[in-house]
Amino acid sequence: MGEPVRAEQLRVSDVERAAVQERLRRAVGAGQLDLHEFDERLQAVWAARTRGELQRVTLDLPEPPPPPPPAPRHRVFSTTPGGTTMRVLTTVWASVVAVNVVVWLLVSLGAGGPVYPWFIWLAPSGAVLAVLYATGIGRPRR
C-alpha cells in the first residue's frame, strides 16, 4: 500500500469552492480585497483541484469582523401613518397637560393654597387617545 494522502492533496468539490467564493465575497464587502483581486482569486478558486490550492487563495485573509447587531426596536407607536398621527397627538396632549399642571401649581402657590384643578378636564381627551391605541390605531404591526 502507498502512503496516505495528506489533507491538502485531497480533491475539492464545488460545495467547497462555493464556500471559499463566499469567503472572498465577504472579504470584498469588508474592504480586504478590491474587485481586481477578487476576480483573480475567484478564477483560482474555480480552477483549484485540491484543498491546498483552495487554502492558498485565502491564506492572507483574516476573518472579517462580525456584522453589527440589529438596532433594537423600542417603539411604542409604529411608523405607519396611524402610528405617526398617534405619536403627534400624544405629544401635543402631554405637552398641554404639562403646561396646565405647571400653571395650576404656580396659581396655587400664588393663592396660598390649592385651587380648582382645571387640568383634570384634559383627562377625557387622554382617554380617547388610550382607547384609539387599545383598539389598534397606531400600534405596531406584528
Split into its structural domains, the chain has a count of 2
Q: According to the model, what pLDDT value does residue 93 have?
A: 94
Q: Report the pLDDT value the prediction gives residue 75, as an integer from 0 to 100.
A: 57
Task: For residue 75, tell me if it sits in a domain.
Answer: no
- What is d(CA 11, CA 27) in angstroms, rounded to the nearest whole number? 24
Q: For residue 5, what is its C-alpha cell?
A: 494522502
Residue 20's nearest CA partner among 1, 46, 2 is: 46
**Enclosing domain of residue 43:** 8-58
8 Å CB contact between 77 and 130: no
First to last CA, the chain: 64
Residue 74 is assigned to a structural domain of this protein: no
Instruction: Identify whether 69 is part of a domain.
Output: no
Q: Is 58 exposed, middle or buried (0-12, 13-18, 19+ CB in 10 A)?
A: middle
Beta bridge partners of 50: 11
pLDDT of residue 127: 93
Amino acid in position 92: V
86 with 53, same domain? Answer: no
Tell me whether residue 68 is in a domain. no
Is residue 140 situated within a structural domain?
no
Which of the residues in the chain have pLDDT under 70? 1, 73-80, 139-142
Are residue 53 and residue 97 in the same domain, yes or no?
Answer: no
